[in-house]
Structure 1
Amino acid sequence: MIRLAMLGALLFPLLVPAALTVENGADNRLKIKEDGVELFLKDDIVLMDAAWKGLVSPMSGKPVAEQSDGAAVTSWKSEKGTVIRRVTASPEKVSVVWEYEFAPDIPGGRYIELTMIGIADNFVLPETAGSGNALGSSKSGFTVATKKTPELVLNFKGSPSAWALQDHRGTAWLRNLRLWHFRDYTPKGVRGKACLTIGGTRADIADADDTGAGTEYDNVRLALPLQVTDRSLPAVVTVDPAEVIRKYDGAMFGLNYDWPGMARVNPYTEAAKPGTPFDGNYRKELAGVPLPLNRAAGSDSQFFQWKKTLGPFEGRAPHKTIGWGAEVPQKYGLLEWIASTRRIDPAAQFVWVVNMVRETPEDARDLAEFLTGGPDTVWGRKRIGFGFREPVAPVIWELGNELDYSANSLYTGEHYSAECKKFIAAIRSVIPDAKFAAHAVTAPWNERSEGKWPEFNRIVLRELGPELSYISFHPYYRGMPPSAIAPYIESLRQDIAACPNPKIRIFISEHGKWPPGSEPNWKRNWYQTHALIGCLDTAEWIIYCLSRPEIAAMTYHNMSAGPWGLIYKDEKGRYFGTGITDLFRLLGKVPYGSEVVASGVTGEYTAFNADQSYSAAAMKSADGETLYLLLNNMLPTTERPTEFRISGGSWKLKSAEALSAPNLHSHNSAEERPIAIAPLKVETGVPLSKLTIPAKSLVLLTLTK
C-alpha cells in the first residue's frame, strides 16, 4: 500500500484538476486536450465491409458548422451517409454526440465504425505494448489514468452499445491507442448515435435503472438544420371545401397526464371533491384551454395504484408512481385528476391506461365499478361517498403502456395479447360496451425494438382485433419529421385493413417534440418542447394528422412532466402556462365537429419531407358558412407571401390571428410571457386572394361566404 501511494505521488504530484479543452483540427476533426496536451483526436465514422474496408466516409466531405444552444454543431451530408456532431465543453467536462445515418442497400455494407486516436504517450499504461487488447470496455463508462489525472472518466451513456479503449502501441498502422465504437449495418439502413463525455465523476457512470422511459427516441432519423436566408418565399395554398377528409374532432386535441409531474402542480391542499377549494392561479393559467380528452398516464401508469390514492391525504398508503420516485403517500390521485380536469373543462372525457404490471384484472374490475357503479355496488358506493355522485366512464381503456419496451416487461405479441384478454374480460364484466386500445410496437426506430415491427402489431391485431376499437402508437418529433413517421402510420393502416376488425382506428396516445441532444446536456434543451419552436413543431404534426382519417384521437404529452408541459411551477411556487397552452387555445377556436376539407401547399420547403417548413389545413363549419385556415410557417426569418385558390366561390376574410414570439427559442416563465396569440393587421370583409404569413408563426384565418 505504501509503495502504491508513493507511486501515485510521483505520477500525480499536482492535485489541481487538469483543464479540458476541445478544438477542431484543419480537417474539422476533433482534438481533445488536457492542460494543452493532446489526449484524443481525429474522430471518424465510416461504413465498412466484412473485411473492415471503408465504403462510405461522410466526414471526409465538406462540413457545415454552426453554434446552437451553446454547442458547436458540425454536419456532413452526402447521398449515402450523414453525420451530425454536437460538442459542448467546459474545463471540467467535454461532451460529444455523433448522430449518423447511412442509406439502405449499400453494397457490401457490414459495420459502422466510430474511432478516435488516443495519444499513448500521455496516458499511464502497462509497460508491455498491446496489439489491440482492451484497456477498458463498457456501455456506461470507465476511468483511465493520464499523466495528469489518476482517474479520468470516460462516460458513454446514451450510446446503443459498448465502447472500448484499445492498446495498439504494438500495431504497425497505429502505434497509439484507439477509442472505438461500432455497430452492425443492415440492408434497411442504419441511423443512430454515439455519446462520449470526458470528465465528471465516477458517479456519472454508475449503472442506471433502465426502465425504458426516456430512451425510446434516442436514435432518431437525422434532419439537418434547414438553412434558409431568403427574407421572403412565395407559396400557393389551394382549398376545396367540397372535398371532406374527416371531422375536426375534439378527440384529436387531447392531453396526457404524468402522475409525478401533476403532483408538483397539484392545485389542491386536501383530498378533492367536485367543490373542494381549488388554486385560482392554476385555473387562470389554463383558462380557455379545451380539455376534450384526457389520458392517465405514460410509463408511470404501470406504477400508479389507484386504490392507494383515495380518501384523506393522511390515510393514503405510500407507493411509487415512477421507478425513480419516492415511496410516499400520493396527494394527487385518481379523484384529484378527475376533479381538477373537470374544473377547467366540465365536458372533459377520460382515457385510463390499465396498470398491467403492478395491478391485477381484479383491480381493473374494481376500478370500472368505482368509476361507473351505482349506490348498490361496493365500489360505486365508495365513489359516491367521496362526493362524486355522477359516474365517470372512460371513453377508452388503454391496455398497458409500452409493455414491449420497458425493462420491467418486454412482452412478446403473444404474451401481451394473452394478458390483455384477462383485463378486457374483467372490465367488461362491469362495463359490457367498454372500448379498448392495445398498443403497437414502441419506438420501432430504436435498436431495442429492432425486428418487432410489424409482426408484433399483426399478432395483437389478429389475437385482439374483435375486442379493440383502437391501436395506440407513440411518435415523437422533430428529430424525426412527420414525413419519417408517416410510413409507420401507413403500415398500421394497412395491417388494420387486413385484420379481423378493419374498423379499428389509430390512437396517438402520446406525441410531442422530443428535445434534441443527449445526456448529460439533454435537460438544457427541455425548454424547446414548449418554446415557440416546440409549438410550431407540434402544430406541424397536428396539421399532418388532420389529413389522416384513420387517426381517431391524440393525446399530447404532457400536461406537466419533465421536458413537456402546459403548466409548471417555478422555484418560487408560481404557476405559469407555456406556449403550448396558447397553441391549444388557438386550435380550439375552430369549432369541434367542423369538417376538415382538402387543401395543399406548393412552393419552396412545402414538400412533405424533412425540409418541410410551411404547411396548412382547412376546416369548414358544420353549417358550411365559415372556413378556417391554419397556416404554419416554421422558418425563423422568412415570411411567406401566399396566394389562395379556394374553389367553389368567394370567401371573405373575417379575422386573422397568429401564435408567435420574438424568436424560435422564446419560452414562457412566471415573469415573462413572450409567446402569445395576437391579431394580424389585415383588410377584412374582402375576398381572400393574397396574404403574407409572417415568419415563425402559426396563423388562423377565419373566412365567411
Structure 2
Amino acid sequence: MRAEVFVNPDRVISEVSAGIFGSFIENLGACIYGGVYDPGSPAADEDGFRMDVIETAKKMGVTSVRFPGGCYAPYYHFEDGIGPKKQRPKTRYRTHYDNPDNSFGTDEYIKWCRKIGAEPFICINMGTGTPEEARNWVEYCNGSVGSRYADQRWENGHKEPHGVRLWGIGNEVGGNWELGYFDHAGDYVRRAREFAMAMKEADPSIKLIGCGAHFPVLDGIYDAPTGYFPNPSDNWNREVLDRMFEYLDYIDLHHYIGHDYKDDIMQTWEKMGTEKVHYYLNEQMQILEDAYRIMREDIRLIRHKHGNMKPIGIALDEYNSWYRADENICCNYTAADGLLAAAYFNIFIRNADVAVLCNMAQLVNVLPAVIVEPGGGRSFRTAVSYVQELFLPNKGLEAVDIWVQSPTWEGAYYKEVPYLDASCSYDREKKRLVLNLVNRHIKEDVTVSFGIKGKTVGAISGKFFGNTEPDTENDLEHPNRLSLKEFRCTEPSGIVIPPLSAAVLNVELI
C-alpha cells in the first residue's frame, strides 16, 4: 500500500500547545484511593503517593491534571478535604464515589501535581455547591495571607498561595445524568455567571473553562429521552460563549470514542470481530475533528458579535477510548486502542489553533494510562500512555499544513476514510520537522512518499508504537509487551510504516 504526504512549512496553523498533554484524576474506582494515593503500598513515597504513577506521569509529559471530577465534582466539597487528616469526615455519595477519609484533598492534590511537574486544574461543584463555596476555594488556593481562607491554608502548612490558574465551571451540566444539570443553555449561563463573578472577585487572574455542549456535532439537533440536550432548539455553545464572553477563556467538550454506542459494540463484539470494531472506531474519530471545526466557527462568530478577538480555546478536558470498561470504568488498553490515542493527538495538532487544553481520562486504574495493584507494589503502563509519550516531540513547535493522499476504506458514515492518518509540526530554529504518521491498516505496510515545499529531506529517525496484533496488551505478568521502539528509515523517499503502527519521526531538512 502506498501513500503520499506533502508538507508546507509556510502554512502555519499555530503553536502545538503544551496543554494537549494533560490528564485527569477523579475519586472513581481505584483512581485516587489505591491509585494516585496509596499509603499502604510499598511503592508509595513519604506522602503516600505511588512512585510508579509519578514516574509514568513524568514519562507521559503530563502538563495539567483535572480534579476532582468529572461526575464526582457536583458532590465534592473542598472543606471536607483540608485540615488535619484525622479530623476530615468520611463521605459517601454514590456507589462509585466512596471516599474513605478525604485524606487526599486540595493540598495533597497540589503537592502531587508539583511532584509530577503538572499544573493543577480544578473543576468546581455546581451541583450541591454554591458560588460562595467556589469563591472560597479560589481564595483558599490563591489568596494572600490576611483573608479567612488564605489564613486557613497557612494554618494547614502552606503560607504561599498555590496559584491555581485553571478553573472549570461545572461538569457535563447539559446531561441529565449529572447532579444539578440544566435543560437549557440559558439556565446554565444564569447560574454560571454567578459562579464566575464570585470566583473572579477572589482572584481576577484565574482562567475559566465554561461547559460546552456534551457533544457539539449534535448541539441543537439531538433530542432523546435519555437526552444530552432535551431542548433541540438550543444552540448551547453559542449561547454560553455569547453570554459569558467577558469571563471565559475556554469552552469545553468531552469525547469518549465508543462510549455513546458502547452497548451495541459490547453486545456484538464477538460477531463484529476485532478488525471491524477497529475500523468502525477509527472512522468515528472524524466526528471529533468535525466538532473542532464547528466550535471554531462558533467562537469566531461570537468574537465578531462582540467586536473582540480575544483568544478562547477549546478544552477537551475528558477524552479516551471507552467501550470495554466494567462497572467501575476499569479496563486495559490494547494496541488498537493505542492507535485511537494517536488519532486524538493528530487531531489536536491539525487543530492547534483551538485545541489548546486536553486531558486524557483517567491517569490510573480507571480508563487508565497506568494500572497499579492497590496496596501492592506492581504496576504496568497501558498502550495510551506510550502513545502520549510518543507525541511529546511536537510540544511547542509550529503545527503546519499537511496534505495526505492515501488509500481508503468505506465507512458507515464517512465514505472515504484514509488508512494513513497524519499531522506535522515544524521546528523553524533547528530546521527540522516532526512528522506523525499512523497506519491504521491491520495487515499491510504503507510506504509513504514524502515531500516538503522548498526543502530537501535529510536524515529521518524517531520512534514508533505498535506493529503487533490488535488485541495485544500489557498486564502485571507481562508489562512490556507494548512499548516504544526505535524507528529506522534508510530510504527517505519511501518511509515504510508497519501495519497498526504510529510513528513520530524527526526529519532533518537540507
TM-score bucket of the superposed structures, by smaller chain: 0.7 to 0.9
Alignment check: 8 A CA contact 1:593 1:622 kept: no
1:556 is aligned to 2:327:
no
The C-alpha deviation readout for 1:117-136, integer Å capped at 9, x for no partner, is xxxxxxxxxxxxxxxxxxxx
Query: Given that residues 84 and 156 in structure 2 are in contact (C-alpha distance below 8 angstroms), is that contact kept between their aligned partners in structure 1?
Result: no
For structure 1, list consecutive stretches of 5 or more residues without a partner in the other structure. 1-232
Equivalent AA in structure 1 for residue 61 of structure 2:
P
In the other structure, the counterpart of 1:288 is 59
Instruction: Structure 2 unaligned segments of length 5 or more: list them.
Output: 259-280
Higher relative contact order (CA 8 A, sep 6+): 2
Match of residue 257 from structure 1:
25
The within-5 A match list for 1:624-703 is: 624-660=430-466, 662-672=468-478, 673-683=480-490, 688-703=492-507
Superposition pairs for residues 342-357 of structure 1, below 5 Å? 342-345=114-117, 348-357=118-127
Give the whole-Å Cα distance in 1 for the aligned partners of 2:415 and 2:359: 24
AA aligned opposite 1:255: S
The partner residue of 1:619 within 422, 425, 432 is 425
* Whole-angstrom CA distance in 1 between matches of 2:403 and 2:237: 32
| Residue 262 to residue 326, structure 1, CA distance change in 2 (3 Å) | closer
Corresponding position of 1:449: 228
Distance 1:377 1:338 in 2: 20
Q: Are positions 1:467 and 2:274 aligned together?
A: no
**Residue 299 of structure 1 aligns with which residue?**
71
Matched, 1:546 2:342: no
Whichever residue aligns with residue 422 of structure 1, its letter is: E
C-alpha deviations, 1:560-581, integer Å up to 9, x for none? 353x111222377222221222
Q: Distance in 1 between matches of 2:21 and 2:55?
A: 20
Find the aligned partners of 1:556 and 1:525 in 2 and give their Cα distance.
Answer: 14
Matches within 5 A, 1:51-450: 233-260=1-28, 261-269=31-39, 276=47, 278-296=49-67, 297-320=69-92, 322=94, 324-326=96-98, 328-345=100-117, 348-407=118-177, 408-411=179-182, 412-443=184-215, 444=218, 447=224, 448-449=227-228
Specify which of 491, 496, 513 is matched with residue 321 of structure 2: 513
Relative to structure 1, the CA distance from residue 284 to residue 475 in structure 2 (aligned partners, 3 Å threshold; closer, same or farther) is: closer
**Aligned-residue identity in percent:** 19
Aligned mates of 1:641, 1:387 — CA distance in 2: 59
Measure how far apart 1:420 and its partner are: 0.6
2:199 partner letter: I
Say whether the 8 Å CA contact 1:238–1:644 is kept in structure 2: yes
Paired AA for residue 88 in structure 2: R
Match of 2:127, SS state, is: coil
Q: Does 1:605 align with 2:385?
A: no
Residue 297 of structure 2 is aligned with which of 466, 479, 494?
494
CA contact 2:143–2:161 (8 Å) conserved in 1? yes
Question: Which protein has the bigger strand share?
Answer: 1
Cα deviations across residues 205-238 of structure 1 (Å, max 9, x unaligned)?
xxxxxxxxxxxxxxxxxxxxxxxxxxxx111111
For structure 1, which segment, 436-445 or 384-393, has the greater mean C-alpha deviation from structure 2 after superposition? 384-393
1:95 paired residue number = none
Q: In structure 2, do the counterparts of structure 1 residues 306 and 461 end up closer, same or farther at CA, with 3 Å as the change threshold?
A: same
- What is the deviation of 1:250? 0.6
The TM-score with structure 2 as length reference comes to 0.82
Contact persistence 1:355–1:400 (CA under 8 A)? yes
Amino acid at match of 2:53: Y
Per-residue deviation at 1:424?
A: 0.8
3-state SS of the aligned residue for 1:481?
Answer: helix
Deviation of 1:595 (Å): 0.5
Q: Which has the larger radius of gyration?
A: 1
Is residue 176–residue 228 contact of structure 2 (8 Å, CA) maintained in 1?
Answer: no
Read off the aligned partner of 1:449 and give its amino acid letter.
Y
Counterpart of 1:463, as a letter, is R
Deviation at 1:654, TM superposition (A): 4.2
Deviation at 1:446, TM superposition (A): 7.1
TM-score norm. by structure 1 comes to 0.61
- Displacement of 1:386: 3.3
User: 3-state SS of the aligned residue for 1:582?
Assistant: helix
Measure the CA separation in 1 of the matches of 2:364 and 2:244: 33
